[in-house]
Chains A and B, each alone.
Chain A
Amino acid sequence: NAGVTQTPKFRILKIGQSMTLQCTQDMNHNYMYWYRQDPGMGLKLIYYSVGAGITDKGEVPNGYNVSRSTTEDFPLRLELAAPSQTSVYFCASSYDFGGLAKNIQYFGAGTRLSVL
């Protein structure tokens, strides 16, 4: 089981360029998330999805877009990269067991992005 796989691991972008961060999971989880992690600031939720075809904004969605066409994939799109988007991006997935059980988040290894 690969779990949550993110590509690329590292990327340098110039201001104004666009790119897509890829995320795929093989655990058949219905929930998927994108976070950014800045030093000393913890994890901030960018977007999340509760299932294929359904996405919703998190705390810091500006400058990003997502889509969820399949259960497995949840790509994050940066349209016009800005230096403020320099960060480490984590994708996560979880499964809603319902009832008293709570969904554990499984994280990918992250994508380190620099915008210069």
Chain B
Amino acid sequence: QQQVKQSPQSLIVQKGGIPIINCAYENTAFDYFPWYQQFPGKGPALLIAIRPDVSEKKEGRFTISFNKSAKQFSLHIMDSQPGDSATYFCAAQEDDKIIFGKGTRLHILP
């Protein structure tokens, strides 16, 4: 019940394409869903986050879609660039507890 399942494990997309990373959770007590971006040799950093009372959130080229009834959420990257190549982690939070997905290694081809 505490798991956050993330897919795919890795993804290769041509520059300008729209990579989509999906996550699913089971615990309905989670009430905050952040995405973290990690570049090689660095720690993860918050990219964008959403609360379950909205279905979509956009920040620049990054969009989270949230389906509360299905307990699923996804990250879309519009007009992807080689600089977006990184590992992306979804997460689900309840108070001081945060559960991370296993990560998606994204590679954007130039």
The reply to whether B103 and A42 form a contact with Cβ atoms under 8 Å apart is: yes
The listed residue (B41, B43, B51, B89) touching A42 by CB distance below 8 A is B89
Q: A103 to B89, Cβ gap below 8 A?
A: no
> Given A96-B96, A102-B93, does the pair A42, B46 have CB atoms closer than 8 Å?
no
* B43 interface neighbour in A40, A96, A102, A110, Cβ under 8 Å: A110
12 contacting pairs across A/B (C-beta < 8 A):
A41-B102, A42-B6, A42-B100, A50-B96, A92-B43, A102-B32, A103-B93, A104-B34, A105-B36, A106-B45, A109-B41, A109-B43
Q: Which residues of B contact A106 (CB under 8 A)?
A: 45
Residues of chain B whose beta carbon lies under 8 Å from any beta carbon of chain A: 6, 9, 31-32, 34, 36, 41-46, 49, 51, 89, 93, 96, 98, 100-103
Q: Which residues of chain A have a CB within 8 Å of any CB of chain B?
A: 4, 31, 40-43, 45, 48, 50, 90, 92, 96, 100, 102-110
Q: How far is the CB of B57 from chain A (nearest CB, A)?
A: 14
Among candidates B42, B98, B103, residue contacting A105 with C-beta atoms closer than 8 Å: B98
Asked whether A48 and B96 contact (CB < 8 A) given A104-B46, A109-B42, the answer is yes
Q: Is the CB of A90 within 8 A of B44?
A: yes
Complex CA gap A42/B102 in Å reads 4
**Assembled-state Cα–Cα distance A40/B8 (Å):** 11
For the complex, what is the distance from the CA of A100 to the CA of B103, rounded to whole Å?
27
